[in-house]
Structure 1
Amino acid sequence: MLSPHEISTLLLVQRAPYQVEALGEDTDRLRHEQLVEVELLATGGALPRLTSRGRELLRRLDAFCKQQASPSDESP
């Protein structure tokens, strides 16, 4: 199970990968879980990218959050 910090790092990789240290502590667990991979740039830098598994996890998390936020279909 991912911690809230790891989930927020995963979201940051999705939306602003240049703000995440690709080889730092924040991405270690995400790389271990195969949710993030590191792209080596021609400039010598590294950039974190979501894997298909990482994109799927965020898609499911988004669907779950939307389901929780929508009103219930049950009658009182």
Structure 2
Amino acid sequence: MLSPHEISTLLLIQRSPYQVEALGDETARLRHERLVEVELLASGHAFARLTSSGLEMLRRLDAFSKRQALPRDERSERRA
């Protein structure tokens, strides 16, 4: 299970990857879980990007949060 900090780092990589230190502690677990990969640019800088698993994780979190935002009776109807 990812921590809230790791989830926010995933979101930041998705939206503003240049603001994340690709080889830093923030991305270490995400790289270990294969949610993020690091590309070394010709300039010598490292660039973090989401893997297909990382994108899928964010897609599922988005779907879950949208379901949770529905009123309780609508959630029950959608499960049926």
Alignment TM-score > 0.5, same fold: yes
- Alpha-carbon distance in structure 1 between the residues aligned to 2:34 and 2:64: 21
Report SS of the residue matched to 2:47. strand
Tell me the amino acid that sits aligned with residue 21 of structure 1.
Answer: E
Deviations 1:3-27 (A, max 9, x none): 0000000100000000000000000
The corresponding residue for 1:44 is: 44
Query: How many residues were matched structurally?
Result: 75
Unaligned runs of 5+ in 1: none
Give 1:70 shift: 1.6
* Structure (1 or 2) with the greater helix fraction: 2
RMSD of Structure 2 on Structure 1 (CA): 1.3
Normalising by the residue count of structure 2, what TM-score does the alignment of the two structures yield?
Answer: 0.89
Unaligned runs of 5+ in 2: none
Give 1:66 shift: 0.4
Q: Structure 1 segments of 4 or more deviating over 3 A?
A: none
Normalising by the residue count of structure 1, what TM-score does the alignment of the two structures yield?
Answer: 0.94
Query: What fraction of aligned residue pairs are identical, expressed as a percent?
Result: 74
The corresponding residue for 2:35 is: 35
